[in-house]
């Protein structure tokens, strides 16, 4: 079965850092672009970042530029989101998702989500 | 990178059809046939329902269909069923490898 299993998250202070991980099983992560999407409590989905299949290109929403870094280790079949200088408004459930084509958003497989709570 | 505009809620009786609109701009929905739709139940991850405006992934019932006209994409659910009650989100490619989501629509089955 193809699946994405997320880890990381939790409670972090304003200005702090946290790293989310997303491990793929049942398929080869290196064959796909990957995407991070977040959802603030009671709010809608928001695209956060994309990364090319080989990691050569990374793209993110303006509100996280300079603070969040998406990366991947195709040997470990894993995707990461390093979140630095966190703000209260970054509080959300973060999902990783597989983008099955490079003409997306064809997000056909999703992780279970990881809650990041940023508080003082 | 403004969010696409969706109605906050739509409702219908079992067996009826409902349509959810998703309005963007000439920079996103209007420029690309890369609009997807996702279904989300409370506390669950989204599910991929429609891609490339009109295409259905394997396993998605043909009661779900997508279309687009100009800057507005639409999702129609025909033969509404109780299990269709969920939140629905559109998402469009916006150029430069950027995606933009709609605000979400709650579908209520009366």
Taking CB atoms and an 8 Å limit, are A106 and B48 in contact across chains?
yes
Looking at the complex, report in whole angstroms how far the Cα of residue A52 sits from the nearest Cα belonging to chain B.
10
CA A33/CA B99 separation, integer angstroms: 13
How far is A67 from chain B, CA to nearest CA, in Å?
Answer: 17
Among positive and negative, which fits the CA dihedral A78, A87, A60, B58?
A: positive
Contact B45 A111 (CB under 8 A): yes
Q: What is the per-residue pLDDT for B48? A: 98
For residue A57, give Cα distances in angstroms to A50, A51, A54, B19, B28: 8, 6, 8, 36, 21
Q: Is the pLDDT of residue B29 over 80?
A: yes
Q: What is the pLDDT of residue A120?
A: 85
Tell me the nearest-neighbour CA distance from B94 into chain A, angstroms. 10
Q: Which residue bears the tokens 């079949």? A: A77
Cβ-defined contact of B103 to A44 (cutoff 8 Å): yes
Two structure tokens written together for A71? 């990366």
Q: What is the dihedral of CA B100, A53, A113, A40, to 10 degrees?
A: -30
With bands split at pLDDT 50, 70 and 90, how would you rate the model's confidence at B40? very high
- Is residue B88 within 8 angstroms of chain A, CB to CB? no
Residue-level pLDDT at B37: 98
* Whole-number percent of chain B with pLDDT over 90: 98
**What share of chain B has pLDDT > 70, as a percent?**
100
Of B97, B100, B103, the CB nearest to A57: B97
> Nearest C-alpha of chain B: how many angstroms from A7?
15
CB contact under 8 A, B97 and A59: yes
- What pLDDT, on a 0 to 100 scale, did the predictor assign at position B33? 96
The pLDDT assigned to B86 comes to 98
DSSP helix/strand/coil, B56: coil
Question: pLDDT (tens digit, 9 = 90+) per residue, B9-21?
Answer: 999 999 999 999 9
Distance CA(B101)–CA(B24), nearest Å, equals 10
DSSP summary character for residue B3: P
Which residues in chain A (55-114) have CB-CB distances under 8 A to chain B? 57, 59, 61-62, 95, 97, 103-113
- Whether residue B30 is predicted with pLDDT greater than 80 in this model: the reply is yes
Q: Which residues pair with B64 in a beta bridge?
A: B77
- Chain-wide mean pLDDT for chain B? 97
pLDDT of residue A103: 79
Q: How many CA atoms lie within 13 A of A56 on its CB side?
A: 2
Tens digit of each residue's pLDDT (9 = 90 or more) over A40-98:
999 999 999 999 999 999 999 999 999 999 999 999 999 999 999 999 999 999 999 99
Q: How far apart are CA B10 and CA B12, in angstroms?
A: 7
> Using a CB-CB distance cutoff of 8 angstroms, which residues of chain B are in contact with residue A95?
45-46
**Which of A6, A33, A42, A45 best tests the B interface by mutation, with the highest count of B CBs <10 A?**
A45
């Amino acid at each position: 079965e193809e699946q994405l299993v997320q880890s990381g998250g939790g409670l972090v202070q304003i200005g702090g850092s946290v790293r989310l991980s997303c491990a793929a099983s049942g398929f080869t992560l290196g064959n796909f672009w990957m995407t991070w999407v977040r959802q603030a409590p009671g709010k809608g989905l928001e695209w956060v970042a994309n990364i090319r299949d080989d990691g050569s290109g990374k793209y993110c929403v303006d509100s996280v530029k300079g603070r969040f870094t998406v990366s991947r280790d195709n040997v470990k079949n894993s995707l990461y989101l390093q979140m630095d200088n966190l703000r209260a408004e970054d509080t959300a459930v973060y999902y990783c998702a597989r983008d099955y084509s490079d003409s997306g958003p064809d997000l056909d497989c999703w992780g279970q989500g990881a809650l990041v709570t940023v508080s003082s | 990178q403004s969010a696409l505009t969706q109605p906050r809620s739509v409702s219908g009786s079992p067996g009826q059809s409902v349509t959810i609109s998703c309005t963007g701009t000439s920079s996103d929905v209007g420029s690309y046939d890369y609009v997807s739709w996702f279904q989300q139940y409370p506390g669950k991850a989204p599910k991929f329902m429609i891609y490339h405006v009109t295409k259905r992934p394997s396993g998605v019932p043909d009661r779900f269909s997508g279309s687009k006209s100009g800057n507005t994409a639409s999702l129609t659910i025909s033969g509404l069923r109780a299990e269709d009650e969920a939140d629905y989100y559109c998402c469009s490619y916006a150029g430069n490898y950027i995606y933009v989501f709609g605000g979400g629509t709650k579908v209520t089955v009366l």
